[in-house]
């Protein structure tokens, strides 16, 4: 979830620790940073009273300072904090219950402890004279880390590893080819990670602005922006899911090359085990792409050509390919790091849901696979809203499947078009959404006969939900930010808004999509109670409701008059045929002139005039 949405999801007390930390860092830095000082003056110097959008803007401005401060504080926080940060910054763990974090921590601690025992047995063996093997390499790193940790005790200070010492140890580990897995296990030997005390450590991390804790829901939130910051502090160039995406794109021979480059066994190792082993080694993406995946005598031009193919295999859109090997690698990393929004926008909410349901139908193990891939909680329902909140895109789901499984899915779906397997599957669902938009009026009127005539198979019970999803898709095509994260955060079991459109970090439009089988839509009293409840939920989350927009096939005269006379909320009404007409006009223009203000006039909107204005 984005920081702005997390701020909306938690109450004032729960976000106070973050705001206090941001306040302190900004106050100390504003003396040197004129732009930051100006922003603080704009909110009268009171960050604690700032809106969600102002807090988000300050966070972005203060990012370099925050990163430096957090890195320093984490270095002083000990091994337990480092382990928790590693867990919380992994894919799928940014919105998680405390009990689940404790389970992941216990599992990780056991894995590290078991591996450290193996390392200790290796270190206890006498190294063979004159042989620079794994035993000797790990022994050198162990002794250096031991000295870095305990040298403070010689001057009567608390034993710890400073930022500077950590930097030297990282260089040493790289030169000795000590993997990330081995580094953690060796440090556990020198300075054992506590087995208990997770909640206390979470509170410690909250004090330095790294997470939010909802006591009522016993849930931890780590905003996407903070996850990205933690990755930079950890020296992680891309998210784990993107590293796995790259590894799954490589050939078996290339995976073997990576293992051979680090003296790892390759005979009798299955492809999935090779990928798992490489992933656990903690290698940098730059190292893999520049050196490890290539055979020993591969020429520079051959390496560059291989990366060009990799770009095509990953379906990355680059403005330029890059002339040098280093530039090409940098462009791949940057594109993957900024791919989430683009991958979500490929499909509408309706298309994403249809894709997920189809994959689950043809490959029932997908939910279990996603739980394992992204460490998702056992007791939560895996649905599209949850996946979006965790920044898991349609492509992330398809890359969780093997190439053979994706081929089987494509065949089962009856897709015959050639091209990249995952791309053509996603595009098939984009086309399915277009078909529903073409029949938008029939959906609104619950006209099953017309839908079946146009080869759209849908049960009557599902029409309302499908109409809501297609309405979201239309708003997305019109360029609106349909905010599923915010909708999820404000919805309750009783009050569930259909659509929330974010106009800015603070301003929203509430959308309601109503179907009606016979005649005009006339249920004003019921609808009025619903939208006022949603408006109250939005305002409690610090959002200003600029407008309520109700979409239905047609409206009764009484409904229109009641909406116009309602003094509590601003209501606009739009007929389904009119919304479709606006979309058609929007798509017909090369440079459409369309603004949300056209939907905020109040009363029954005149779609013909809006379409002409576009």
Mean per-residue pLDDT, 251-262? 94
What gap in Å lies between CA 375 and CA 482, rounded to an integer?
27
Residue 480 pLDDT greater than 80, yes or no: yes
Does the pLDDT of residue 579 top 60, yes or no?
Answer: yes
- The 8-class DSSP code of residue 126 comes to P
* pLDDT (tens digit per residue) in 489-515: 888 888 889 999 999 888 999 999 999
Instruction: Quote the pLDDT of residue 33.
Output: 73
pLDDT at 203 over 80: yes
Neighbours of 8 (CB within 10 A): 26
Residue 547, SS3? strand
For residue 45, the model assigns a pLDDT of 53
Q: In the Cβ-directed half-sphere of 110, how many Cα atoms lie within 13 Å?
A: 5
Closest CA to 348 of 479, 507, 491, 505: 479
Q: What is the pLDDT of residues 364-376, one digit of tens each?
A: 999 999 999 999 9
Cα distance between residue 399 and residue 547, in whole Å: 39
Convert the pLDDT of each residue in 50-85 to its tens digit.
777 778 888 888 888 899 899 888 877 888 998 999
Any idea how long the chain is?
614
- Identify each DSSP E strand in 427-506 by its residue range: 481-482, 499-502
How many Å apart are CA 77 and CA 71, to the nearest integer?
A: 10
| Mean pLDDT across 209-217 | 91
Please determine, for residue 571, whether its predicted confidence score (pLDDT) is greater than 80.
Answer: yes
How many CB atoms neighbour CB 147 within 10 A? 11
What is the H or E stretch that residue 227 is in?
Answer: helix 224-234
157 to 73, 76, 152, 193, 567: CA distances (angstroms): 17, 13, 5, 20, 68
Is the Cβ–Cβ distance between 122 and 135 less than 8 Å?
A: yes
> Residue 135 contacts by C-beta under 8 Å, 6 or more apart in sequence?
122, 123, 125, 127, 128
3-class SS of residue 493: coil
**Average pLDDT of the chain?**
90
d(CA 443, CA 446): 5
pLDDT digits (tens, 9 = 90+) for 300-334: 999 999 999 999 989 898 888 889 999 999 999 99
Q: Which helix (H) or strand (E) holds 99?
A: helix 98-124
In the predicted model, is pLDDT for residue 43 greater than 70?
Answer: no
**Whole-prediction pTM value?**
0.78
Could you tell me the pLDDT band of residue 564, with boundaries at 50, 70 and 90? very high
Residue % of the chain over a pLDDT of 90: 57
- Higher pLDDT: 489 or 394? It is 394
- Residue 96: per-residue pLDDT: 93
Query: What Rg, from alpha-carbon coordinates, does the chain have?
Result: 27
């Amino acid at each position: 979830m984005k920081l702005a949405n997390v701020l909306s999801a938690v109450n004032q007390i729960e976000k106070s620790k973050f705001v206090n930390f941001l306040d302190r860092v900004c106050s100390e830095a504003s003396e040197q940073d004129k732009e930051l000082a100006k922003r603080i003056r704009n909110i009268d110097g009171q960050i604690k009273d700032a809106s969600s959008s102002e807090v988000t803007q300050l966070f972005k401005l203060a990012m370099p300072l925050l990163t430096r401060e957090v890195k320093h504080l984490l270095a002083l926080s000990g091994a337990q904090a480092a382990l928790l940060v590693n867990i919380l910054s992994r894919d799928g763990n940014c919105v998680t219950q405390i009990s689940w974090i404790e389970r992941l921590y216990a599992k990780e601690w056991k894995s590290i402890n078991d591996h450290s025992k193996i390392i200790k047995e290796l270190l206890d063996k006498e190294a063979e004279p004159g042989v620079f093997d794994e035993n000797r390499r790990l022994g050198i790193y162990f002794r250096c880390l031991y000295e870095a940790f305990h040298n403070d005790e010689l001057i009567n200070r608390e034993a710890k590893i400073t930022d500077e010492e950590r930097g030297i140890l990282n260089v040493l580990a790289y030169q000795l080819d000590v993997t990330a897995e081995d580094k953690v296990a060796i440090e556990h030997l020198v300075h054992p990670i506590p087995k208990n005390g997770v909640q206390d450590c979470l509170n410690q991390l909250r004090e330095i602005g790294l997470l939010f804790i909802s006591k009522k829901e016993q849930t931890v939130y780590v905003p996407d922006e903070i996850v990205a910051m933690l990755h930079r502090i950890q020296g992680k160039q891309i998210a784990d899911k993107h590293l796995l995406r790259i590894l799954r794109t490589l050939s078996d021979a290339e995976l073997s090359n990576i293992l051979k480059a680090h003296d790892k066994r390759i005979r009798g190792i299955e492809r999935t085990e090779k990928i798992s082993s490489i992933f656990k080694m903690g290698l940098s993406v730059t190292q893999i792409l520049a050196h490890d995946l290539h055979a020993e005598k591969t020429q520079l031009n051959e390496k560059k050509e291989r990366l060009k193919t990799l770009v095509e295999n990953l379906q990355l859109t680059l403005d330029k390919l890059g002339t040098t090997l280093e530039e090409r690698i940098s462009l791949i990393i940057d594109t993957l790091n900024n791919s989430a929004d683009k991958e979500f926008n490929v499909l509408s909410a309706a298309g994403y849901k249809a894709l997920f349901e189809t994959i689950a139908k043809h490959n029932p193990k997908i939910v279990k696979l996603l739980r394992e891939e992204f460490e998702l909680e056992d007791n939560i329902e895996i649905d599209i809203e949850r996946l979006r909140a965790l920044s898991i895109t349609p492509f992330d789901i398809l890359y969780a499947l093997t190439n053979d499984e994706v081929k089987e899915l494509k065949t089962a779906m009856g897709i015959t078009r050639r091209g990249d397997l995952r791309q053509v599957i996603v595009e098939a669902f984009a086309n399915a959404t277009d078909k529903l938009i073409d029949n938008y009026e029939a959906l609104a009127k619950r006209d099953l006969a017309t839908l079946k005539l146009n080869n759209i198979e849908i049960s009557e019970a599902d029409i309302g939900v499908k109409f809501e999803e297609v309405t979201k898709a239309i708003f997305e095509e019109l360029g609106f930010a349909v905010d599923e994260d915010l909708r999820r955060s404000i919805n309750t079991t009783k009050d569930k808004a259909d659509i929330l459109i974010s106009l800015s970090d603070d301003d929203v439009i509430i959308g309601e999509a109503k179907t009606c089988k016979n005649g005009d839509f006339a249920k004003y009293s019921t609808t009025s109670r619903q939208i006022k409840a949603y408006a109250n939920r939005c305002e409690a989350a610090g959002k200003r409701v600029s407008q309520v927009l109700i979409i239905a096939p047609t409206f009764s005269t009484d409904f229109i008059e009641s909406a116009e006379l309602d003094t509590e909320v601003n209501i606009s009404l739009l007929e389904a045929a009119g919304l479709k007409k606006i979309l058609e006009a929007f798509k017909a223009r090369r440079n459409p002139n369309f603004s949300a203000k056209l939907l905020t006039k109040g009363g029954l909107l005149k779609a013909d005039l809006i379409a002409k204005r576009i």
